[in-house]
Structure 1
Amino acid sequence: MIGPFVNGTALFVGSVAGALIGSKLNANIRSQMPMVFGCASMGLGVAMIVKVKFLAPVVLALVVGSLIGEIIGLETLIQKFAGKARSLIAKIAPANDDLDQDEFLDKFVAILVLFCLSGTGVYGSMTEGMTGDPTLLIVKSILDLFTAPIFASTMGLSVAVLVVPQFTVQSLLYFGASLILPLTTPDMLADFSACGGIIMLATGFRICGIKQFPVASMIPALIAVMPMSWAWATYL
């Protein structure tokens, strides 16, 4: 298992570098580059959405998954985790972020999806688990190495905490790939990609400050979409 370690290291190094640079980084770069990353997320989302095979189960998974996410308060749980991480890090190192608490929590949820649940990370982990090829995750690592410092320059060392959920998700996908992929079909994977694309599109809107979509609450849809796609293709 190489990819998850490389990606985690890149995210951590980039986050620490960005936190150390902090206010020394050009103000225009700090404010404008997240908009670029948001646009990139939207573009990636569109590219993933067009792969859809059966639109109905994808929409149904998003609705049901988001409803489950709202019922269990998934976004609130993530925000509480983010708030505690921020407070803990502030005790260890002086805070250099310039965001108020609400703005910080909103951005934290968005970048958690961006770093931990992007299509590249999901497919890269599963591909390495099945073939042993870490190329996709190494490519993602290069992107994260340059993306993380920008967010960390305004959000501080708290961005480095995302290494934990990122490594956990990628490791589970890596070890579960040999069990999951044989049970899937190309159509199921296409619908999974489309579902993830919609979430990435919503994440881009959120990062750009256009609309605060409940992206964390939409995460359970990724679990529901493949079974629903299979049921749709089999029975309907």
Structure 2
Amino acid sequence: MQHFPIGPFINAAAIALGGILGAFFGDKIPERIRTGLIPFFGLASMGLGIVSLPNVKYFAAVVLASVFGLIIGELLHLETRLNKLAGSVRGIVNKVFPSEGLSHEEFLDKYVALVVLFCISGTGVFGSMHEGMTGDPSILYIKTILDFFTAGIFAISLGMAVSTIVVPQLSVQLSLFFLATLIVPLTTPDMRADFYAAGGLIMLATGLRIMGIKSFPIANMIPTLFLIMPISYLWHTFIAN
């Protein structure tokens, strides 16, 4: 039975609304609150990453997939391509809604981190697949709450460009939602647990980047999410048993 994708649209609406409210009214929020919330969002991202790890089945497989995924991302220059796209988005949006206060490098660093957080986090990817199979959008509802406030705070400095992230966000989540009936039946609980853990590592890296502690090449880590379940299966079949 095919379900209507509720979660992806609710998530997109929260990002768009949060971005608009932050861009237009965010300057009315006291500076001390703004500066305090941004590190908290990084911390929340790390928290989501941490809670994704305890149920991992084969952590060695997760590490292996992460290494190969990062190598592939580096060879494909995913971070560079995403930076160029982010720069183009800023140029287009600034023609209508000028934004100031951040250097081009600072803008790209934060924008790329938000694209990963909103579009390809383990919570978003797994939540979309979960809803596609079961019709339960609860995982995406949790993500939506975080995304609304994150979009609002970051839009204060990034401007309306934050709201444009709903385009890739909807594309990714809807694609995974409709493909879930093909993907999930081919997986096992252990494979999904390892997938969630791999997404958790990316969420940890995203949090560290948002907090300004370490600027991991998050976009280059994306291929990990496509490699982890096959590698988890192979690890279970040929090494663990």
TM-score in terms of structure 1 length:
0.96
Aligned partners of 2:46, 2:137: CA distance in 1, in Å?
25
Kindly indicate whether residue 9 of structure 2 is the aligned counterpart of residue 41 of structure 1.
no
In the TM superposition, structure 1's runs of 4+ consecutive aligned residues that sit over 6 Å from their partners are none
Letter in structure 2 aligned against 1:179: L
Aligned partners of 2:150, 2:131: CA distance in 1, in Å?
23
After superposition, what is the alpha-carbon deviation per residue over 1:190-230, rounded to whole angstroms, capped at 9, x for unaligned?
11111111111111111000011111100100100100000
- 2:32: which partner in 1? 28
- 1:105: which partner in 2? 108
Aligned partners of 2:69, 2:197: CA distance in 1, in Å?
14
Identity %: 55
Q: Choose which of 211, 215, 218 in structure 2 pairs with 1:212.
A: 215
How many angstroms does 1:165 deviate by? 1.0
After superposition, what is the alpha-carbon deviation per residue over 1:34-70, rounded to whole angstroms, capped at 9, x for unaligned?
1001011111111112221112211111111101101
CA RMSD of aligned residues (A): 1.2
Retained in 1: the 8 A contact 2:34–2:153? yes
Letter in structure 1 aligned against 2:101: D
- 1:64: which partner in 2? 68
Letter in structure 1 aligned against 2:24: L
Aligned partners of 2:21, 2:175: CA distance in 1, in Å?
28
Q: Secondary structure at the match of 2:219?
A: coil
Q: Structure 2: where are the runs of 5+ without partners?
A: none
Q: Choose which of 173, 181, 184 in structure 2 pairs with 1:181.
A: 184
- 1:223: which partner in 2? 226
Kindly indicate whether residue 22 of structure 2 is the aligned counterpart of residue 18 of structure 1.
yes
Q: Choose which of 84, 91, 98 in structure 2 pairs with 1:80.
A: 84
Q: Choose which of 219, 232, 236 in structure 1 pairs with 2:235.
A: 232
Q: Structure 1: where are the runs of 5+ without partners?
A: none
Retained in 2: the 8 A contact 1:25–1:153? no
Letter in structure 1 aligned against 2:39: M
Kindly indicate whether residue 150 of structure 2 is the aligned counterpart of residue 172 of structure 1.
no
Retained in 1: the 8 A contact 2:122–2:198? no
- 1:138: which partner in 2? 141
Q: Choose which of 184, 197, 200 in structure 2 pairs with 1:197.
A: 200
TM-score in terms of structure 2 length:
0.94
Kindly indicate whether residue 162 of structure 2 is the aligned counterpart of residue 159 of structure 1.
yes
Aligned partners of 1:110, 1:124: CA distance in 2, in Å?
19
